[in-house]
Structure 1
């Protein structure tokens, strides 16, 4: 147990969520803070988070698995763009080999988290499937609950949806054993989910139409990484994985920076890729967005499967706006109409901060939009609390890995200094210059800006979007940086002089 006069707890660290973020934190604790007791709570019946929730046809990663995979566990499959079942197998193997499964309490939804400075602990209230309540206590609360609303995806409220006589599906709630053989399918949307569903359903459906309001930038990439597979043959697996991960991180960074610095060059490259794939079926208006690449996430097309379905006349793309649904399909504002037996509304997610959990600090409800990010994972004046919000321009797991290691560094520092409370103290928020770092035009981001925590124009008070810089800062930067204050139960946390904190470390 952590040092100090704090009250006893059921576990030192409580991890909320048994998806990529939660599993990654559990392994990091085993590796870097083995003296810390920990437990996980998961609202679903199985682990995997996103990869257990989404069951639509063709579900796959939209990042390569050498960066979506963990830093500590090589990705061993031949395909670097992996399907959902392969990712779940990877996560389950890690949990079983490292004896983490027995620490997970499934079917436990967290419905409240209350911090008490007098006892230096969190009391977390959970609800089971039958509505029964229980509580558990922890010194540190680690939120790996993801960034979107598991209960309610974005609803575009299309007029006339009650008139439609066929099936309307949202990818977040895909029915088991859906029979779509020989049926006309319209997929509304043009993001990663839509371009995954379209080719996957085209094998059995009569025809699949992707209906988009505006085009999206697509990047064609092989599903198999030839360099990675070659390296695995000639090098030890861990070394091959490390080299491939480094290569892919650098490539992601180069492409993102080039898209920001020379967008016309990137546009030209992406357009040439699609032209080459589609040939005479290419239409510039359909595949030229009104924004620059990486103002929204680039949409990955492994092995050009989306365009192959178009060339085979099994799929098509229509750019238009919806007037209304009718009994047999969709009326478009251009006057055209699309027949449909099944409509898939791949219209996006709704973001949720802190898993929609009411979080209180000494009785006061936390309004996240009034708190600043600290070191991309903690929040101003919220003690012993961390969360993961992945990169917008790179793989989610890259952030999850460095956040987990950073939290372990903080926990170890607390042990060394005999303290039980770590608080990113911000006495005067007005001293910071706020900046919107979410300069992405994606609908799910723009719709949710009002609920998001604040970002300053300088570190450490921002959710940075530069993994390479972040990894160095989080791994080597001083824990006692003059901002993160350390104290014990019942003590008032004040910002201490940097020299004093450095001496304590």
Structure 2
């Protein structure tokens, strides 16, 4: 007989472990399994092992709503986050539900059976399948097997070593070496100060600047509250404090972009001094939050630059040479190691093939519903975090709403929940209002959002709390018992 569970969760990362916790708490009678393609939990925080890997959000909002973050540092390193995820899974007994080395390759919805048939490729080369009533995708948003790697002319002539941060070699020795990091995003600004501690010199080579903001690695108020109050109370207060500050800052950037831009660049100038060319190297061409801001804890990037251990060059690449990189300006950068921190390659469902009653489901033809389901696709939810705040804020709300839908189905004696657009026309708009390269490169593959609720993304945690925790589950949602499914249920 085919293995059947109520819920299949795909991915044992931050989102998947959180979803399992909510499922156990809110739907304790449901059987579930987590299918994880790799041999370890942790997702991003287990895959990425490059020097200095850390969160670019504070752990009081990147952490789970139900499990306080108690470490002193709120801007945490990758291993600490991985430990936090593993402890959550172990303490909740979630780890016993994970099947490692199980990569989901296809999922087929059957209306007659009112279930998904999930096809799985195992590490040993065999294939298996199982069925579930609900499929919850927590596989992240980028391709684990390949990063974004531009084809640089002459790369094969370079005599040194080229590495992408997503696939950092365990034997990488950069002590006393000249390093060039290509990129200007979160990965690059993390790598530069970290590698500079051992390298002879590190150069961050960027085509265009990114907004870089310094923030203390420790939240002094959070640590003080934790010394005076129970851990959960202190955590909750800090979490809402940081959420509120983040929302206010985001609103200010959208309403007064020029003033915000001037302030952000001024803060960089305060760190690097009046003689540093901030206009060239730290003044982006876009407005704040058109792309994600880069966070550096305790100004480590700026301190490294001031100490002469690193520098920033804004230019374009003509070609690689045996000795390094030739720039369009004619300058040649010598390097022993070149790190291509050139970004991610999006893969919303990790190339899982979806069908509905034999017909292909093309996500690009769908509208996303409340940022967690798709139009006309039954019993399928997915996690995609905020672009302007911590990923887990949205992941928690999505998991709670999934549980609300499951309990509604059980209470009403129904088996299928399908978002429907209905007779009222909804204009399609891009997946997210974001200009980052990894988003723009994948727009033709991504679902759309609508011009009105519930098809439009809020990008606002407070609004999503009202919509997903307290809003109606019947909002553009069709609950039904498909023909033929009642016989199977009986």
- Does the TM-score normalized on the shorter chain lie above 0.5? yes
Counterpart-to-counterpart distance in 2, 1:490 and 1:86: 50
Name stretches of at least 5 consecutive residues in structure 2 with no aligned partner: 486-490
| Correspondence for 2:295 | 300
What is the aligned counterpart of 1:456 among 450, 453, 459?
Answer: 450
Residue 396 of structure 1 aligns with which residue?
A: 391
Equivalent residue number for residue 53 of structure 1: 47
Kept after mapping to 2: 8 A contact 1:421/1:487 = yes
Q: Which residue in the other structure is 1:487 paired with?
A: 480
Alignment of 1:256-295 (within 5 A): 256-280=250-274, 282-283=276-277, 284-295=279-290
Whether the aligned pair in 2 keeps the contact of 1:195 and 1:306 (CA below 8 Å) is: yes
Q: Deviations over 1:65-85 (max 9, x none)?
A: 000001000001100000000
Aligned to 2:29: 35
- CA offset digits 1:409-448 (Å, max 9, x no partner): 00000010000111112356x8211223622221111111
Mapping of 1:313-392 within 5 angstroms? 313-392=308-387
Q: 1:126 aligns with which of 106, 120, 124?
A: 120
Correspondence for 1:471: 465
What SS is found at the alignment partner of 2:350? helix
For the residues of structure 2 that align with 1:261 and 1:425, how far apart are their CA atoms?
34
1:157-306 to structure 2, matched below 5 A, reads 157-280=151-274, 282-283=276-277, 284-306=279-301
CA deviation after TM superposition for structure 1 residue 489, in Å: 4.2
CA contact (8 A) 1:120 1:490 kept: no
CA distance in 2, matches of 1:427, 1:420: 20
Give, in angstroms, the shift of residue 464 of structure 1: 2.7
CA distance in 2, matches of 1:363, 1:223: 51
SS at match of 2:385: coil
Q: CA deviation at 1:462?
A: 2.5
Q: C-alpha distance in 1, partners of 2:196/2:132?
A: 49
Residue in structure 2 matched with residue 503 of structure 1 by the alignment: none
**Secondary structure of the residue that 2:449 maps to in structure 1?**
coil
Structure 2: distance between partners of 1:367 and 1:229: 47
Aligned residue in 1 for 2:144: 150
Q: After TM superposition, give the deviation of residue 376 of structure 1 in Å.
A: 1.0
Superposed displacement of residue 468, structure 1 = 1.2
1:296–1:440: 8 Å Cα contact kept in structure 2?
yes
1:84-136 Cα deviation digits (max 9, x unpaired):
00001100100000001110000111111111111111111111122210111
Separation in 1 of the partners of 2:457 and 2:172?
40
> Does structure 2 conserve the Cα–Cα contact (< 8 Å) formed by 1:330 and 1:337?
yes
- CA deviation after TM superposition for structure 1 residue 9, in Å: 6.1
CA contact (8 A) 2:73 2:217 kept: yes
Cα-to-partner distance string for 1:379-435 (whole Å, 9 max, x where unaligned) = 01110000011111111001100000000000000010000111112356x821122
Taking the aligned partners of 2:472 and 2:312, their CA distance within structure 1 comes to 52
1:228–1:240 contact (8 Å) kept in structure 2:
yes
- On the 8 A contact 1:359/1:365 being kept in 2, the answer is yes
Q: Unaligned 5+ residue runs, structure 1?
A: 1-6, 493-505
The alpha carbon displacement at 1:486 in A equals 1.1
The equivalent residue for 2:488 is none
**Inter-partner Cα distance in structure 1 for 2:3 and 2:371:** 27
Cα deviations by residue, 1:300-345 (Å, 9 ceiling, x for unpaired): 0100000111111110000000000011100000111100110000
**Is this contact kept in 2: 1:281–1:311, CA < 8 A?**
no
- Secondary structure, in 3 states, of the residue corresponding to 2:173? coil
Task: Detail structure 1 runs of 4+ shifted over 6 Å in the superposition.
Answer: none
For the aligned residue pairs, the C-alpha RMSD in angstroms reads: 1.5
Superposed CA offset, 1:4-50 (max 9, x none) = xxx99621000000001111110001111111111100001100000
CA contact (8 A) 1:113 1:359 kept: yes
Partner residue, 1:109:
103
Aligned with residue 63 of structure 1, among 57, 64, 73: 57
On the 8 A contact 2:178/2:202 being kept in 1, the answer is yes
Q: Secondary structure at the match of 1:47?
A: coil
The answer to which of 63-72 and 456-465 deviates more is 456-465
Asked if the contact 1:149/1:352 (under 8 Å) is kept, the reply is: yes
Q: Distance in 1 between matches of 2:281 and 2:140?
A: 32
Query: For each residue in 1:232-265, what CA deviation from the matched residue of structure 2 results, as whole angstroms up to 9, or x when unmatched?
Result: 0001100000000000001111111111111122
